[in-house]
């Protein structure tokens, strides 16, 4: 019947539209991904990198300020100044490397176990940051990090390059920013897994590297490796290279990120998150206790409560140290 034919035609067309829309959405996402890749490659390839800062050797710690204020992250820690840290042997230089420790000999009381938090004297706006580490802190109660942050947190941003807790084996790479920053899950251009997309949340937008050598004991047992962070106007990328997989151009001092494998983390900037959210950053290395690690302390098999564990078991922190070969910062030419 004619009426029936009209109805059938309408149903046909609706079905066709429903089939087309997912394909269109998929094509739109693909176009977005291609645009991210092309812009990223073009901006990186447009310039070469020249060395700006090289921190290594016996004067390494002269380039950093030792924070001794109350921990803004509310960890169970007492950061000490440089003189106290030297007297307690919480940092030193030997075997052509620089070492940062925590107090592993005394019972701790409030505000927490003595540790070191260093912050670069220099301020940075974009660049390529290379951290060559032979050992990073690890173990129950620990919360170490390699990161950058501005003085006006969170409005000047924070970039967490290496962060972990307790006996976990994964590395969390995270951005913290003001509320107008959300990340797209660009799985095609990174190997990590996005766990949180909103950078303005308390946990930040975070990508997890779950490889067995990404963090902690697995990283240390192979002699460590290199954490690299490239910060450009189009976004931030983070790599973690195991010792035997460090690109030759990093070792020769002529880094070329366009030749490197897919990064573990990729945070693209754009309307979703303006690049101006990240500026005037200091390099920071520290070992905190408990804090974020409280959330997984029991599930990691560490015990029932983090603070008493950290306070009463100093000998359990013999692995809570950084061994730093060098830190290099490059600018685009």
Asked if residue 154 has a cis previous peptide bond (ω within 30° of 0), the answer is yes
Rounded CA separation 88/105 (Å): 10
pLDDT at 294: 85
pLDDT at 2: 28
Residues of the chain below pLDDT 50: 1-30, 33-45
Rounded CA separation 115/91 (Å): 10
Whether residues 32 and 118 share a domain: the answer is no
Whether residues 186 and 279 share a domain: the answer is yes
Maximum Cα–Cα distance across the chain? 97
Whether residues 23 and 52 share a domain: the answer is no
Rounded CA separation 231/251 (Å): 20
pLDDT at 184: 87
Q: What contacts 251, CB < 8 A, 6 or more positions away?
A: none
Asked if residue 70 has a cis previous peptide bond (ω within 30° of 0), the answer is no
Chain segment 134-148, per-residue pLDDT in tens = 999 999 999 999 999
Rounded CA separation 132/246 (Å): 10
How many folded domains does the chain comprise?
2
pLDDT at 47: 66
pLDDT at 299: 85
Whether residues 126 and 246 share a domain: the answer is yes
User: Is the CB of residue 294 less than 8 Å from the CB of residue 116?
Assistant: no
Whether residues 287 and 244 share a domain: the answer is yes
Domain residue limits at 17: 1-46
Whether residues 178 and 242 share a domain: the answer is yes
Whether residues 14 and 83 share a domain: the answer is no
Whether residues 38 and 56 share a domain: the answer is no
Whether residues 27 and 142 share a domain: the answer is no
Chain segment 67-115, per-residue pLDDT in tens = 999 999 999 999 999 999 999 999 999 999 999 999 999 999 999 999 9
Active site residues: 158, 163
Whether residues 6 and 105 share a domain: the answer is no
Whether residues 163 and 55 share a domain: the answer is yes
Whether residues 36 and 89 share a domain: the answer is no
């Amino acid at each position: 019947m004619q009426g029936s034919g009209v109805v059938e035609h309408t149903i046909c067309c609706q079905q066709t539209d429903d089939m087309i829309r997912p394909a269109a959405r998929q094509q739109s996402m693909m176009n977005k991904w291609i645009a991210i890749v092309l812009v990223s490659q073009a901006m990186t390839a447009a310039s070469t990198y020249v060395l700006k800062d090289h921190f290594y050797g016996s004067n390494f710690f002269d380039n950093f300020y030792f924070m001794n204020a109350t921990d803004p992250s509310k960890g169970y820690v007492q950061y000490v100044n440089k003189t106290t840290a030297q007297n307690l042997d919480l940092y030193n230089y030997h075997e052509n490397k620089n070492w940062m420790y925590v107090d592993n000999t005394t019972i701790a009381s409030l505000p927490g176990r003595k540790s070191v938090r260093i912050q670069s004297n220099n301020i940075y706006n974009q660049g390529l940051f290379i951290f060559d580490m032979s050992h990073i802190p690890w173990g129950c109660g620990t919360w170490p990090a390699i990161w950058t942050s501005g003085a006006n947190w969170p409005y000047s941003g924070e970039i967490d390059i290496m962060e972990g807790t307790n006996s976990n084996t994964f590395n969390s790479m995270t951005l913290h920013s003001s509320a107008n920053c959300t990340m797209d899950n660009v799985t095609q251009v990174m190997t990590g897994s996005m766990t949180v997309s909103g950078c303005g949340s308390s946990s930040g937008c975070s990508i997890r590297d779950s490889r067995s050598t990404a963090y902690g004991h697995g990283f240390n047992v192979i002699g460590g490796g290199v954490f690299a962070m490239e910060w450009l106007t189009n976004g931030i990328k983070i790599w973690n290279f195991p010792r035997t997989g460090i690109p030759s151009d990093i070792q020769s001092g002529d880094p070329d990120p366009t030749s490197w494998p897919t990064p573990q983390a990729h945070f693209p900037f754009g309307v979703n998150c303006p690049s101006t959210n990240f500026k005037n950053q200091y390099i920071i290395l520290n070992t905190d206790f408990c804090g974020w690690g409280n959330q997984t302390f029991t599930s990691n098999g560490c015990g029932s409560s983090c603070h008493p564990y950290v306070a009463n078991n100093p000998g359990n922190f013999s692995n809570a140290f950084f061994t730093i070969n060098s830190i290099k910062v490059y600018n685009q030419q």
